[in-house]
Structure 1
C-alpha cells in the first residue's frame, strides 16, 4: 500500500461514487486514472496495474475515466483570460478545441470541442464560461481571429489583442493537449464527439489539480 500511495499522490479531485461493485480497490482505480491522464497510454496503464495484481482491460480503465465524469472547478475570478481555439484531429476527423485559461494561475477555466467553428458557437462557449466563473470584468486576451473578437463584443466582454505575453499560457496548454491527443489516439478510435470531449474535460481537471 505504501507503493500505491507514493504513485497515486493526492486524488481528492477524483470522484468514484459511480462504483457499485468494488472489484478493484479504489486506490488502484484512482492510480489508473492518474497514470493515464498524466502520460501513459491505456495499454501501459494496464501493465502498471498488473504489477499490483490487478488485471483489467483497456476498456475498463477507459470506462473508469469516462464514468467518473470529472468536472472542473467553478467560481474563479481572474483579471485576465486567455481565449483561443485550435484545430485538432481525432480518428482522422478535424475538430475545433476552444479553451479559456487564467494566465496568472495557468488554470483551464473552460474547454469545449466542436465539429466546426462559428461566431455563434464562440458566443455559446463564452456564455458557458460566464455561467461557471466570474469573468464579466476580466480582460480577454485574443489573437487576430475576427470571430473571437466579434463574439466577445456581442457578449459585452472586454478584450485586448495580444500576440504573445499572457496568451502564451493558452498556447502551451494547446501544445500539450495536441501531444496527448496524438499519443492517446487509441482512446478515440470510432469515438463519438461527446466521448472525445469528455476526455478533454477530464484532462482539464487533471491539469488544474496537478498544476
Structure 2
C-alpha cells in the first residue's frame, strides 16, 4: 500500500499508523521537515514530509519546505547512483508530499557540536578509520557529484549530516540533497543553509 498509493486525505502520521507501525520519529530538524521510520508488511521505510503546515518556527514556511521536497524528488529521479538513497514512491496529501525511501542501515556522521569530541560518536569513529577506507568513501561521494554535475545539478548544503555510514559493511549512503539546484542560480535568501564549517568564505 505504501508503495502503490498516489494520494491520501489523512494527515501523514494518521495514514502511516493505519497501514503499519511507526518505529521512529525524526522531529528535531532545523528544516521543519518531519520524517518517520515505518514498518509495513515486514519491510522498513523512511518517510519524509514537510512537517506541520502550521509550524512557523523553521526558516522556510510550509510551502517552501514542500518545494524543497519536490526538488529532492526531481534530483533523485534524475540520477541513478548506488550511494543515493532509493526513492520508492511519492504520496500526495493535504500537508504536502510523503517521500517514501528505502530504510538504510547506518549511522549519521553529522553529530551536534557538543558531541563531536566524543570518541564513541559516529563522527569520531569514522575519523579514526584507516585512510584507505575513508578514501573509498570519498571516491563514492565524489563520483555521485560528478554524475550530478553532468546532469546540471549544483551542490548546496552538503555536509556530514547528509552521510550515513554502515561501519559493518563499510557502505556510505548520501541523503537530504533537497537544496541542490538544477543549473546556476543566484542567492536570493541571504545566508544559505548549512554550517559555516563547510561554507566558502
> TM-score w.r.t. structure 2 length?
0.31
Q: Which of structures 1 and 2 has the bigger CA Rg?
A: 1
Per residue, is there more helix in 1 or in 2? 1
> TM-score w.r.t. structure 1 length?
0.30
Per residue, is there more strand in 1 or in 2? 2
